[in-house]
Amino acid sequence: MRGVTDDFWRDADAHLIRYGGIFTPEIIASAEGSWLTTESGRRILDFTSGQMSAVLGHSHPDVVATVRRQVGDLDHRFSGMLSRPVVDLARRLSESLPDPLSKVLLLTTGAESNEAAIRMAKLVTGKHEIVSFAASWHGMTQGAAAATYSSKRAGYGPVAPGNLAIPTPNSYRPDVPDGDGQLDWRRQLDLGFSLVDAQSTGSLAACIVEPILSSGGVIVPPPGYLTALAQQCRERGMLLILDEAQTGVGRTGLMYAFEREGVVPDILTLSKTLGAGLPLAAVITSESIEAIAHERGFLFYTTHVSDPLVAAVGNTVLDVVERDGLVSRAAVLGARLHEGLVGLQSRHAAIGDVRGHGLMQGLELVTDRESKAPADALGAAVTTRCLELGLHMNVVQIPGWGGTFRIAPPLTASEEEIDLGVEILDRAIGECATA
């Protein structure tokens, strides 16, 4: 067995293109529910839902049954053909959303859905400038990558022209403080858009933001922020695009995170959670925006647009979320998780902040609470120790943010699994912070 394992890593080293960070030093053989199993038979509690996607846990029996049935009936077809799973999912997504969001485009990845949304916004408005947060992550395709600032941009040449950044409303690290040292987010937002106005050529098309910034550090905008942001967009004739790749389909304790403020975007994008780990994404907009886009020849014709296999999975995800009450369950389990993390904060001086909604929580490690200096090395050490103890954790992969954990267990996790994850994290921080 040792030789076979050595061959695996030798082949991986010889033949895989490295695409970011390092590979976890485990060979994953299978997964079920909240657990991963390695080839050696070791079980690992998954506190990231795969790539922040598997809201139903791994290998959910309903999803497995749907894939087996659908792949035997209709998996793929010519992109101009339609099938019942596609139209059913479009209708159901529309019914789950407030007016006027009613028109749906089904794609594969989050980057692809954001690419399509940005492309649509440019065509409909006749403008080309896109505003996003300075800690944003929207994907790796051209337009989405140009609106992404939390990853390294150097070395790839010029991005799409017209992309502008506004400050991220990080309440834990206020860059525009008020008299009490708290984030003055209204002044920060006004300042951000004054800079946008100064740089704009008069061609502002859209603003794209995540309701909770995940790769940017699990940053939750203050109450009222999205409402004020939407107003800034309206004043300039811009469309508001909300990227709910990670926050949609119940993750935050609401079906969609924008419901917390009642801000309805002009365009909504979904991905990761919609397919519960399978490659499914959606762009959803109003009938009026879709009509203008169509009239002007909107083109986003891909190999896997409106694929029936993953659309059938999306319908099953909605079935399970509704049947099992997983939105409210995410709120209850999220409160339990948050309480557990706050308890850790009271015991470990290295924990500077705990933040998030539902089953999307962030925990930030610092070298000391006074300076709030980032603790990247400690974050790496805790991540390694957690894995040794049987817990998969993920830190933000950005220098200066490597002590910030993104915690997102499946909505199907048990209370015991939530508690176990917190216990393992408690032990790992305790051992690493005193090492």
Choosing from 35, 137, 185, 401, the catalytic residue is: 137
Burial class (CB in 10 A: 0-12, 13-18, 19+), 141: middle
Which positions ≥6 away from 231 have C-beta within 8 Å? none
How far apart, in whole angstroms, are the C-alpha atoms of residue 409 and residue 361?
Answer: 9
For residue 127, indicate whether it is catalytic: no
Choosing from 115, 129, 184, 210, the catalytic residue is: 210
For residue 287, indicate whether it is catalytic: no
For residue 210, indicate whether it is catalytic: yes
Task: Using the structure block, give the residue that is written with the tokens 């009613």.
Answer: 102
Choosing from 103, 329, 355, 406, the catalytic residue is: 406
Choosing from 188, 246, 345, 361, the catalytic residue is: 246
CB atoms within 10 A of CB 78: 7
Q: Which residues of 214-244 are buried (b: 16+ CB within 10 A; e: fewer)?
A: bbbbbbbbbeebbebbbebbeebebbbbbbb
What is the signed CA dihedral for 78, 101, 247, 358, rounded to 10 degrees?
-140
Task: Using the structure block, give the residue that is written with the tokens 């695996």.
Answer: 8
For residue 246, indicate whether it is catalytic: yes
Q: Which of 362, 305, 312 is nearest to 334 (CA)?
A: 362
Q: Give the Cα-Cα-Cα angle 318, 321, 324 (nearest 5 degrees).
A: 140
**Cα-based distances in Å from 391 to 7, 135, 343, 380, 423:** 26, 27, 18, 14, 10
For residue 137, indicate whether it is catalytic: yes
Choosing from 46, 115, 184, 243, the catalytic residue is: 243
Choosing from 272, 329, 355, 385, the catalytic residue is: 272
| Catalytic site positions | 137, 210, 243, 246, 272, 406
